[in-house]
Structure formats: structure tokens, C-alpha cells
Amino acid sequence: MKPLVVARGVVKRYGAFTAVDGVSFQVMEGECFGILGPNGAGKTTLVRLMASLSPLTAGQITVDGLDVSRQGRQVRARIGLVPQHDNLDPELTAWQNLRVFSRYFGVPKAVAEERSGELLDFFHLRERARQRVETLSAGMRRRLIIARALINAPRLLVLDEPTTGLDPQARHLLWQRLRQLKAQGVTMVLTTHYMEEAEQLCDRLIIMHEGRVLAEGSPQALVERYAGREVAEVHLAPFQDEAPVLSRLTGARGLVWERAGDVLFIYARDSDGLDPALLRGMGERVVLRRANLEDVFLRLTGRGLAE
Amino acid sequence: MTLALARPDLSLRALRLWQRNWDVLRNTWLEELVWPFVEPLVTLLALGVGLGRIVQLPGDESYLEFVAPGLLAIFPMWAATSEAGWSSYFRLESERIFDAVMATPLSVDDITTGEVLWAATRGLISTLFILVVIAAFGTVASPLALLVPLAAVPACLFFAAISLCNTAVARSVRSLNYFFVLYITPQFWLSGAWFPLEELPEWAQRLSWWVPSAHAAELFRGLVRGGLEWGHMGHLAWLAVAALLFYALALLLMRRRLVR
């Protein structure tokens, strides 16, 4: 596999504020690459730089071998961008939205019409083709934006928080469609703060915080490395001291703990797991579960408010 | 600043944005064109015919004949400036059309160019309509009037470009009003469309060199009423130079607005 996107030492500053602070990564052809991070981590900025919408302050990004700073038009011709905020053309119908967008890319009319039909079928929007987009539901609009992003048959599909604000049904339908696209070989870059979304879709991901990359790897590798196999959530009474609980664990190897409010998180990082007997009777309630990406995310970016 | 001084990055794709606006107009032409079509008609009836009965001009020209070419200067000005004003602002901030277009092979300069060409087109649509109406009222005295659509191009481009400059620096839709109230409305009344500028005091007449719509009114008067002179080329050149200057400024200001 060869890399489709190569980012080296990417920096973006707005005045004194540094939104992206020396980020490097590669996206391989055919993979789904995730960019995770709390609000304000710099995900959207990074996506805008990658899509040649915004000039870099320093560093370099190439897409399909083209420099985003010097060959912006060619880069944008190869990318389909799904922005976080809906910017469908509200004065046009669903069909016209696809048609007008295809013209921006110079897609020949016959090709554009055939592709529009296929995309509307694929995203269950065929019956809505003649409707103005204002009359569509949030889920339909989201699907139409992704259809629009595919109208130029892009080498790279870039999705900025594609399912934010959708209900569970709409979200699952969208995930299904994105998995199908991936199976067809579409390379994707996806930003999200839904861990489930990242686990469902991404082959590899980076976790960003305050403009920097904190960790990189496959979801499984990251979970094993940063959270281990199991996590015990010990729910304490407010202001209860955690020391007596922790003292019972002193014999166990490879445990890491962290307190957030009234919950004590105990990660079995290097050991094979936690002994349930050890935890019995601790706190008001103990939940023993498998570690997931959310644990990684929260361990790396902190459980406090990231505002 | 390096960005602001960079050479324009233009391509024919600018016309794709023009075409998008044309498609929207085809969806909504009745709502969009009722204003630029009905207002000049009513004006011509009220001022040309109604007021015209009691106005006596020096010479044997009727007031209707005097007013008719002036309409070609001021209503297309309204059409072009309001399109590049409120309508472009709406596309920029409410509909976020340009955000979407920026993710395509169009450049920011293409967007600016497409918008200027489109607003100028709206001015030309108004020009053509008024030309037909004043011809129907029998006020066209010279076959040179056929050149009006061509001669109107620099004026329409100028008004489109200067209004887009204002849009590019506007902080809110309300702040567009300064431009329209302080710059366009005075030109509407003081361009020499409604009365000969010679009626104004000496100092005001000298100021009229700076008034774009006054140049347009003189130019169209020459073409429609006959009596075209070399001096009219000066008016055309004035408008063409101003159009170029403000187009260049619009490119800079729109880059500043859109590139972040």
C-alpha cells in the first residue's frame, strides 16, 4: 500500500493562537483514517488544511503526490469533502445540488447524471431528487452531502464529524453506507468525537489534543497500550477517600488508576485482567467491563472539561 | 500581505458559479424579476408621463424623452449593486455557498469573478428590459441605442464590483445599508437622470465627475437621444477604469474575507 496523504510538521496559527502544532501522519490508500479529539483539538483545522481550503503556516501536506499549498485546485479536484456544518445549496433541489456541484468539478454532463442517479439510490434519496433541500430531514441532508462529496469520484473522502447531531437510526444507516464505501476501496479520513464511530469505521487513527498528536495506531492497539483489557469503574460516595480502596490493590501488578469526580477508574494495563473478588464490596457499585477507545481517549485527553 | 499582493488565480470555472446563480434565477425568476421590471415601469409612468405633463424643459425635448435614457443609468445600478450586496451577502453568510464552492477546484478569485459577472448580468437584464420599455414609449431617437447593452457593460461591472467590495467588508447584513443609503441613493437622485445637472450650483457640477451614474447617464443619453460625441468615450473610459480598479479591490477583499 502506498500513502495517499502525507503530512509533515504541519502548523497552523491564527494570530497568537496555534490551532495545529507540528502534526505529522500518513494515510494509506484504501484505509479509513480517524482523527479523534475533543472540541477545539484542531481536527477541523487539520481537515481544512488537508483539503486545501486554508493555507498552512508551516510544514507540508501532499495528497496523491500533490502539494496542497501549490497545487490547490488539483488537490481539491481529487477530494470529496463532507463539512461539519451543512452547506448544501438551499435554493436548489437535491438533484440540482449534485448537478451544480458536478459542474464545479468539470464532470461531463452524461457522467454526472449517471453518477447522480447511482448516488441517490445508494443513499436512499431517489424519491427526494426533485425536493428542495430545505424540506429534507437532517439525516437525509447528511446523506446528500456525502453523495455530493462523491460526485467527482474522489481519490479521498474527507468527513468532518459526519454524524454529529444525528439520531441513532440515521447514524447507523450512515455507518453502514460508509463501510460499504470502504469495501469499495474509497480512502477516507474521518474526524469524530464519537468513539463508537471510530471503532466501527477506522483502521488507524490519531488522537489529537490542543493541536498535537498524542497517540497513533489501530483502535485495538491503542486500547491495549493505553487502557489494557479491562476497566473497573468503582463508584464512590461523593468526597469518599479512594485510599482504602487502592490499598487493597497494592498486591496486584500492572494496575493504573485515575479518579474523575465520584468514579475511580482502575485499568488492568499489563496484567491479564482484574480479579473480581478483589473488587467486591468496594465503593457503592463496581462495574467491570472491557476497555474501549473511550478509555484511551479520556486517559490521554483528560477527564476534565476541555474548554 | 503576501497573500493580498499575489497575482489573481483565475480560471473559466468562475463561470460555473455564474451558472449556479443563473439556475437559481430560473427557479425563482418571478420573485426575483418583479422588482426590477415593475419599478422602472411605474417610475416612467409617474415621472415621465404624470410629472412630465407639467414640466417644461428648455428646448423642444419632452420630459419623458429626457428621463428615459436616465433610467438606463440608475435602475441597472440598483439591480447590480443589490445583487452583489444583499444577495451576495446572503450567499456568503447565510447560505454558505462559497464555503462549499471553496472545496471544489474553483479558487477564491474564481468565486469573486463569478459573483461580479453575475451581478453585472443582473444589471444587464435590467438594462435590456428598460431599453425595450423606453423604445415602446417612443423615446428612442437614434439607432445608436442598439449599442446600449454593450456600452452598459463597464457600468454594470463597476457597480457589481464596488458593491461586492462593500459586501466583503460588511460585518452584518445591516451594515450593508451605509453603502446603499450614503452612496447609491444619492446617485439615484443626483446622476442627472431626473434633471439636467446644469441646474445644480457650479461646485456640485464639478463634483459630478466623481459620480459614476452621472457618467452612465450622459453616455446613454448620447446613444438614445443621438448627438454622440467624442466626449462620450471619456465617460465610457471612466467607467471601464473604475470597473477594473474595483474588481481588483474586490479580489483582495474577498480573499481577506474567505481565506482563513
Which residue in chain A is spatially nearest to B16 when comparing CA positions?
A104
Chain center to CA of B118? 11
pLDDT band for A83, please (50, 70, 90 cuts). very high
- Would you state the pLDDT for residue A307? 38
Give yes or no for a contact between A47 and A35, defined as CB atoms under 8 angstroms apart.
Answer: yes
- Would you state the pLDDT for residue B153? 98
**Which range among A24-38, A90-104, B1-15, B239-253 shows the weakest confidence by mean pLDDT?**
B1-15
- Would you state the pLDDT for residue B167? 98
Any B CB within 8 A of A91 CB = yes
Measured CA to CA in angstroms, residue A74 lies from A53, A107, A156, B59 at distances of 12, 14, 12, 64
Which residue in chain B is spatially nearest to A51 when comparing CA positions?
B103
Distance CA B129, CA B110 (A): 28
Check: complex ipTM more than 0.95: no
pLDDT at A157 over 50: yes
Residue A192 bridge partners (DSSP): A36
Q: What percent of chain A has pLDDT over 70?
A: 95
Chain B nearest C-alpha distance from A94 (Å): 13
Give yes or no for a contact between A182 and A188, defined as CB atoms under 8 angstroms apart.
Answer: yes
- Would you state the pLDDT for residue B23? 95
pLDDT band for B2, please (50, 70, 90 cuts). very low
- DSSP string across A100-164: HHHHHTT--HHHHHHHHHHHHHHTT-GGGTTSBGGGS-HHHHHHHHHHHHTTT--SEEEEESTTT
Residue A265 bridge partners (DSSP): A233, A258
Please give the angle made by the CA atoms of A80, A83 and A88, to the nearest 5 degrees. 90
Distance CA B112, CA B251 (A): 6
Burial environment of residue A36 by CB neighbours within 10 A (0 to 12, 13 to 18, 19 or more): buried
Q: Quick one: average pLDDT of B90-99?
A: 96
Give yes or no for a contact between B83 and B157, defined as CB atoms under 8 angstroms apart.
Answer: no
More confident residue, A300 or A70: A70
Under DSSP, the state recorded for A254 is: S
- Would you state the pLDDT for residue A281? 73
- Would you state the pLDDT for residue A204? 97
Q: Quick one: average pLDDT of A180-198?
A: 92
Q: Model confidence over A167-179: pLDDT tens digits?
A: 899 899 999 999 9
Q: What percent of chain B has pLDDT over 70?
A: 98
| A10 φ, ψ (degrees, to nearest 5) | -75, 130
Distance CA A290, CA A305 (A): 24
Q: Model confidence over A37-69: pLDDT tens digits?
A: 988 899 999 999 999 999 999 999 999 999 999
CB atoms B97 and A96 under 8 Å: no
User: B102, B108, B255: best mutation site toward chain A, by most A Cβ within 10 Å?
Assistant: B102
- Would you state the pLDDT for residue A273? 66
Question: How confident is the prediction for chain A on average, in pLDDT?
Answer: 90
Chain A nearest C-alpha distance from B22 (Å): 11
- Supply the pTM of this predicted model: 0.91
Distance CA A236, CA A265 (A): 11
